[in-house]
């Protein structure tokens, strides 16, 4: 069977990480402007699945594209999300990827405080930090190009509470997610804040290497962006009180990227004095 030729410097780049995949797709949507976009505080009865590592296998055009990892742990009165993405196999030969993300958000209000990114994609190397300064209603992006040591600093307006592209996955876990519901919330990834609209589409059974799950299929889209009508993303959360994301799919003009949960691991307890530092309050 013939296949469309690979375009490593364009297509594979977009496979670099789950968080970047989300950012690309959310920026590509063109949905109506939502009403009452806001971050809903976590329900009193909700508890985050702290101490878990979710390991996903990425597949693109029948190729094993690599792995993505999401970890969640408590850090004072905040939640700390760690994400990682590594290319593998033929994809890694075409375009090397090693990305690391760390995000902190308030455990109750769910407002993001900070996100740090270290990205290695092909020849590009960058360190990025976005700080959510709610006192001034600004998201402050500071980025260093590790190849030439160029530094840039950009500020963009944010509302009184916003989420980021990594923490937003866990924000979705706190929502009721009943079929037919719709939610909207502000998200900032260092540039212009977008309002993300979450459509809870339907209940659906999903098969994974870990077994079959009863899930709720969710489609997020953004209210605006430079790329219009270029793709869609879906997330399948377990249909229970925890709403663990067991499958994600990005369908874009460059192909379809599937992320499937293959392992759930328990994080080792942090050594005394080695707990992750909380983000600024």
Q: What is the pLDDT of residue 87?
A: 76
| Secondary structure (3-state) at 47 | coil
Q: Please report, for the chain, the start and end positions of each structural domain, with discontinuous segments joined by +.
A: 12-265
Q: What is the pLDDT of residue 22?
A: 52
Q: What is the SS3 string spanning 179-237?
A: CCCEEEEEECCCCCCEEEEEEEEEEEEEEECCEEEEEEEEEEEECCCCCCCCEEEEEEE
Where the chain has pLDDT below 50, the residues are: 1-16, 18, 20, 24-33, 226-228, 274-281
Q: What is the pLDDT of residue 111?
A: 98
Sequence-distant (≥ 6) Cβ neighbours of residue 248 within 8 angstroms: 18, 56, 233, 234, 235, 236, 258, 259
Task: Report the helix count and the strand count for the chain, using DSSP H and E.
Answer: 3, 14
Q: What is the pLDDT of residue 216?
A: 97
Q: What is the pLDDT of residue 152?
A: 96
Are the beta carbons of 45 and 62 closer than 8 angstroms? no
- How far apart, in Å, are the Cα atoms of 106 and each of 77, 102, 161, 183? 6, 14, 10, 20
Q: What is the pLDDT of residue 35?
A: 58
Q: What is the pLDDT of residue 5?
A: 35
Q: How far apart are CA 146 and CA 128, in angstroms?
A: 10
């Amino acid at each position: 069977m013939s296949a469309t030729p690979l375009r490593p410097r364009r297509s594979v780049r977009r496979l670099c990480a789950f968080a970047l995949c989300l950012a690309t797709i959310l920026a590509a949507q063109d949905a109506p402007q939502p009403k009452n976009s806001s971050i809903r505080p976590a329900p009193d009865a909700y508890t985050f699945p702290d101490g878990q590592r979710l390991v996903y296998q990425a597949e693109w055009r029948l190729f094993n594209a690599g792995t993505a990892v999401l970890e969640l742990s408590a850090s004072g009165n905040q939640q700390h999300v760690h994400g990682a993405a590594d290319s593998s196999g033929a994809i890694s030969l075409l375009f090397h990827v090693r990305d690391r993300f760390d995000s902190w958000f308030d455990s109750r209000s769910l407002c993001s405080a900070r996100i740090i990114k270290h990205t290695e994609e092909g020849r590009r190397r960058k360190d990025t930090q976005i700080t959510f300064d709610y006192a001034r209603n600004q998201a402050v992006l500071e980025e260093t190009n590790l190849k030439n040591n160029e530094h840039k600093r950009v500020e963009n307006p944010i509302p009184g509470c916003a989420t980021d592209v990594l923490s937003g996955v866990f924000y979705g876990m706190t929502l009721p997610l009943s079929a037919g519901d719709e939610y909207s919330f502000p998200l900032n990834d260092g540039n212009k804040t977008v309002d993300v609209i979450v459509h809870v589409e339907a209940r659906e059974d999903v098969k994974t290497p870990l077994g079959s799950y009863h899930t709720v299929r969710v489609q997020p889209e953004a209210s605006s962006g430079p790329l219009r009508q270029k793709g869609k993303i879906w997330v399948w959360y377990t249909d229970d009180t925890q709403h663990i994301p067991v499958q994600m799919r990005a369908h874009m003009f460059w192909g379809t990227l599937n992320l499937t949960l293959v392992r759930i691991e328990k994080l080792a307890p942090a050594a005394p004095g080695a707990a992750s530092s909380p983000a600024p309050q």
